[in-house]
Amino acid sequence: MTSLSIRKMNELSKKKKKGFTLVELIIVIAIIAVLAAIAIPKFGSITRNANLKADIATAKNIHGIAAELIAENPSIAAADLTSAVAKKVDGAASNATALPNSKLNNTAFAVTYTSADGNIVVTAGSGNEVYPKQTGTYAS
């Protein structure tokens, strides 16, 4: 063989060594898939816990606003309390009648006030107490 053809073969073999092999790429993809399989359920759990804590914080604020309104006007009717709280939550907007929706189950919060014993309960969904005592999906 001539020195020219040997040089050409050396250049070709050097060019072939650049890049990754198919096996190396498949291994990297498999590692990424395993990491994704572990991370995706954790992300869902973190999102659910964040929504749960956001709902409890919102219910706590609604409870505090309701207690403030009752302290200002002890003779407030239970039916008027929800709309009064909604107006305060919405920044005193005159047309606000509903409380915000829960992030966990996308239903509106509700305020229940029992004047006989002075209990204020904030619920969401199908009667799940969110604050002060958490039950149902809000139980920790």
The model's pLDDT over 75-107, given as tens digits with 9 standing for 90+, comes to 888 778 888 888 887 765 556 667 888 888 888
Contact 101, 107 (CB under 8 A): yes
The β-bridge relationship of strands 109-114 and 119-124 is: antiparallel
pLDDT tens digits, one per residue of 68-77: 988 888 888 8
Q: How far apart are CA 125 and CA 104, in angstroms?
A: 9
Contact 120, 131 (CB under 8 A): no
Question: Residue 12 — very low, low, confident or very high, per pLDDT cuts 50/70/90?
Answer: low
